[in-house]
Amino acid sequence: MQPSHLLLALSGHGYGHLAQCAPVINALWKDRPDLKLTVCGALPRDIVEERLDRPFDYCCVELDPVLQMFSAWEVDVLASQQVYRAFHDNRDTGLQQDMDLLRELSPDLILADIPWRILSAAAQLGIAAIGMCSLNWAAIYASYCQGDSKDRKMIGEMISAYQMAQVFLTPEPSIPMPQLGNAQVIGPIARRGARKKTSICTQRGIPQDTKFVLVALGGITTGMPLEHWPRIDNTVWLFGSEVCLGRDDFLDVSTLGLPFIDVLASADVVLTKPGYGTYAEAVCNGVPVLSIERPDWPETTVLNRWVQQYGTVEVMTCEQFYSGAFVPQLKALFATSARPEIEPTGIGQAVNHIQSLLC
């Protein structure tokens, strides 16, 4: 008997969609070690490999348009509108391409986070599909671009495609999705890490009471105004390897030899912008959040309210981020009492939904 075949369809907007799905796939593999997985998306393969525990097939293909960004938190609305409209204008040809891809790969089930056109292709071919995300691109696009009939028609077609999935799982905290009749709320999804702060301090020869601030802005390139950032006594800044480090209080996390989630779990504060992946991982690992304001992003209010309920968050302005004038917020987070970690219960719930539809 052939093992079941799951196709994971990923949006290419940052790393958050992969971050939501990877813990679910890894947990599913524990129950079904022979499960065949094919990942379809435009993320670099090595990024996907870092998150997934077992070998998989990879198909590099753009399944949906990607919001154009000025930075990790600023949407270029006009450019995004052009990209989305071009994708929509090519919808018939694109749908046929998706159907051809599914015929070639022949999956038993599709998990989409959250390309919509491939859900239409799956429905036409009679392939079961699950949507899963804390947002959907119809709602996001509508919040920026619904000025004329063309945009409204496109939004309607996106919603219709999402509704073709057998179920659309919305991990806590998700934006409201009243337009999706198949939406079902599940618990949060996030990796849990091991706190390695003591060993990091020992390895680097720094005091054990040093504060670690992890800077994690996601998978979208953003200029870092580090020349304006302050030195804070007894504090070390942790960065990804793409940042040019020129100070003794800056540390490249890739030199630590640890999984990124262990670095996050070892931090005293995570500096980030509103986005599901880092927020959920911070709260589920009991790490306070220093966030950049993002008033136009539809998830911001929901995400910040959730962190306030289960964790700790301070918000700074964009001007403070660029000038480095966020020390008061950072010190306030240093002074807070630790909040308990919470369980990422959505992982098991998502696995159960997938299991129910896999042959």
Q: Which residues of the chain carry a pLDDT beneath 50?
A: none
- By the 8 A CB rule, do 107 and 127 touch? yes
Q: What is the model's pLDDT at position 220?
A: 58
How high is the pLDDT of residue 309?
Answer: 95
Which domains can be identified in the chain, with CATH numbers? Answer: 5-189+345-357 (3.40.50.2000), 197-334 (3.40.50.2000)
Distance CA 119, CA 26 (A): 23
Task: State the burial class of residue 244 (Cβ atoms within 10 Å of its Cβ: 0-12, 13-18, 19+).
Answer: exposed
Percent composition of the chain: helix, strand, coil (DSSP 3-state, to 5): 40, 15, 40
Q: Phi, psi (5° rounding) for residue 172?
A: -65, 135
Per the CB < 8 A criterion, the answer to whether 219 and 242 are in contact is no
Contact 128, 122 (CB under 8 A): yes
The pLDDT value recorded for residue 221 is: 58
Residues 6+ apart with CB under 8 A from 252: 239, 240, 241, 243, 245
pTM of the predicted protein model = 0.92
| Contact status, residue 166 vs residue 202, Cβ threshold 8 Å | no
Residue 91: its pLDDT value, please? 92
